[in-house]
Amino acid sequence: VTPDLRRLRERLAEISDLRRTLLLLSWEQRVTMPPGGTEARANALATLGRTEHERFVDAEIGHLLERLRPYEESLEYDSDDASLIRVVRRDWEKARREPSELRAERLRAGSLAHGVWVEARATNDFARFLPALERNFDIRKRYAACFEWEDSPYTPLLDDFEPFMTTTDVAAVFDVLRPALAEIVRNAPRIDASFLDVPFAHDRQRVFAERLASTVGLDEDAWRLDTSAHPFCTSFSRRDVRMTTRFMDTGLRALWSTLHESGHALYAHGVAPSLERTPLAGSPSLGLNESQSRTWENLVGRSRPFWSHWYEPLQRTFPDELGDVGFETFMSAVNCVQPTALRGRADETTYSLHIILRFDLERRVLEETLEPRDLPQAWNEGMQELLGVEVPDDAQGVLQDTHWASCQIGYFPTYALGNVISLQIWSVVREAIPDLDDQLEAGELLELSGWLRDGLYSLGRKLTPSETIERLTGSPAIDPQPFLAYLRAKAAALA
């Protein structure tokens, strides 16, 4: 190890500690913090964020990266060291464009707005949220202005979550999805799933959700499951992974939300130990990360073999609610196509249409063809157009998501991209594990999570999203066709 590399690794380890601490401040705000702590937390996030950013964009890191070029070129492309130098160089060049003060302002604003959003949603009061929303969009516009872009000011924002993709690239995928999904929705049979629309005791849901999560392949002393207003997953190291879920008045949505977060958790948990405390400990893009949450939520968690193992235990847990509900009825209900106002309750087909709406809207605000104050109307019109759904109120409309409150603008498209990518990877998994269905029927998930860990999660951020997809599937492109074929087959099976 050269002294330059040692020095770079030391500095990146400290920066990594600061970044994980930022995640902890944010996790804690959402999970345990009393409301009185809001203002101090916003200050702490701003100070930590500024400190982390100042350290990272420091000229010394640039010098080290430059001096390490010959060493990088002497190594295998996907070696840990070459990948570290290459990926950090791109991160560093991008981060240098943003003033540390703007970063601090975004963290402070996102933290304060989160508290406002929780209250505004609870009271169905968009006007109360609007000033914070306007400030957040303004902060992100100023961020976009730090960069040159070709197609849209939305692209630099998108790039934070989906590196190397442009707004045009995303729009091209969504232009395929939009009509195809609408057609599947139109032709899908209507299923009566009202037996799920009743209260299920939260404590028993929690026990069952933890039981499911404990089987996916996480070390038992390395994770926990809490509740929050909006389910999410974060990690402070590969051995300290935090999932949250949310228990609703009716239904069992928390079970699939837990499986969803388990996919994110497995990704964080599966990163190679050699990448710990480096910026490579993560995933190449949120789309790839989401492909795994959707794999565990849907491809595993709505499948017939999975539930042929788990449905009896679920019936025993909720005998009054499910004792008389047959397996086929349950399977149809958890796989039906049913437009709804809430993304958090959407089925696999309509889900991406919710995302396309959000992408269109946030892109238009960035491109200044839509004002934040007009978002509720545009939202409701879009829901009508894309899904034929009447939005009952803003709490179940424009206020339903936490992302804009948290200043995470440009994040939404990664959800639909994740759906698409999940099927590209799933085809390979199916070939690699021919008896997967038998394993799922036996409640065995460890070969699946082990294969995904070794083939995908362990790579961390070493490769670009396209390189990662190519390594797994043989092709670098994001291809919506396997996803659409999967949905069409499911809808046909329901008929």
Task: Please give the full DSSP string across 1-45, using - where no structure is assigned.
Answer: --HHHHHHHHHHHHHHHHHHHHHHHHHHHHHT--GGGHHHHHHHH
Nearer to its own copies, 100 or 458 (CB): 100
| Contacts with 308 (C-beta within 8 Å, 6 or more apart), sequence order | 327, 441
| Contacts with 109 (C-beta within 8 Å, 6 or more apart), sequence order | 42, 132, 135, 136, 139, 407
Q: At closest approach, how far in Å is the CB of 282 from its own copies?
A: 14
Q: Which tokens sit at 243? A: 């999932």
* Burial 183-222, CB ≥16 within 10 A → b, else e: ebbeebeebebeebeeebeeeebbebbeebbeebbbeeee
Q: Does 37 bind its own copies (CB under 8 A)?
A: yes
Q: At closest approach, how far in Å is the CB of 277 from its own copies?
A: 7
Q: Which tokens sit at 474? A: 């043989």
Q: Which tokens sit at 477? A: 């492109």
Q: Does 40 bind its own copies (CB under 8 A)?
A: yes
Q: Which residues pair with 235 in a beta bridge?
A: 241
Tell me, residue by residue from 306 to 345, as one string, x for binding to its own copies by CB under 8 A and - for no binding.
Answer: ----------------------------------------
Q: How far is the C-alpha of 362 from the C-alpha of 75, rounded, in Å?
A: 41
Residue 261 annotated in active site = yes
Q: At closest approach, how far in Å is the CB of 97 from its own copies?
A: 23
How long is the chain?
495
Query: Taking phi first (over 0 means left), then psi (-120 to 50 degrees means alpha), and beta for anything else, what does residue 277 get?
Result: left
Q: Pick the stretch among 15-23, 56-64, 141-149, 369-377 that binds its own copies (CB under 8 A).
A: 15-23
Q: At closest approach, how far in Å is the CB of 204 from its own copies?
A: 17
Tell me, residue by residue from 208 to 247, as one string, x for binding to its own copies by CB under 8 A and - for no binding.
Answer: -----------x-xxxx-x---------xx-xx-------
Q: How far is the C-alpha of 337 from the C-alpha of 482, rounded, in Å?
A: 18
Q: Does 25 bind its own copies (CB under 8 A)?
A: yes
Position among 7, 9, 51, 272 found at the interface with its own copies (CB under 8 A): 51
Q: How far is the C-alpha of 20 from the C-alpha of 50, rounded, in Å?
A: 14
Catalytic hit among 72, 261, 321, 348 = 261
Q: At closest approach, how far in Å is the CB of 259 from its own copies?
A: 19
Query: Taking phi first (over 0 means left), then psi (-120 to 50 degrees means alpha), and beta for anything else, what does residue 318 get?
Result: beta
- Cα torsion for 273, 459, 157, 227, to the nearest 10°? -60
Position among 4, 5, 9, 24 found at the interface with its own copies (CB under 8 A): 24
Q: At closest approach, how far in Å is the CB of 460 from its own copies?
A: 15
Position among 8, 12, 30, 48 found at the interface with its own copies (CB under 8 A): 48
Nearer to its own copies, 236 or 451 (CB): 236
Q: At closest approach, how far in Å is the CB of 191 from its own copies?
A: 39
Nearer to its own copies, 154 or 223 (CB): 223
Nearer to its own copies, 58 or 367 (CB): 58
User: Sheet harboring 240-245: ordered strands across?
Assistant: 223-227, 240-245, 233-237
Position among 1, 3, 35, 203 found at the interface with its own copies (CB under 8 A): 35
Nearer to its own copies, 231 or 287 (CB): 231
Nearer to its own copies, 44 or 487 (CB): 44
Phi, psi of 417 (to 5 degrees): -60, -40
Nearer to its own copies, 40 or 146 (CB): 40
The stretches of 123-201 forming alpha helices (DSSP H) are 126-144, 154-161, 167-187
Q: Does 47 bind its own copies (CB under 8 A)?
A: yes
Q: Pick the stretch among 11-19, 121-129, 282-290, 425-433 that binds its own copies (CB under 8 A).
A: 11-19
Contact 389, 400 (CB under 8 A): no
* Catalytic residue set: 261
Binding site for its own copies (CB under 8 A): 13-14, 17-18, 20-21, 24-25, 28, 32-37, 39-41, 43-44, 46-48, 50-51, 219, 221-224, 226, 236-237, 239-240, 276-277
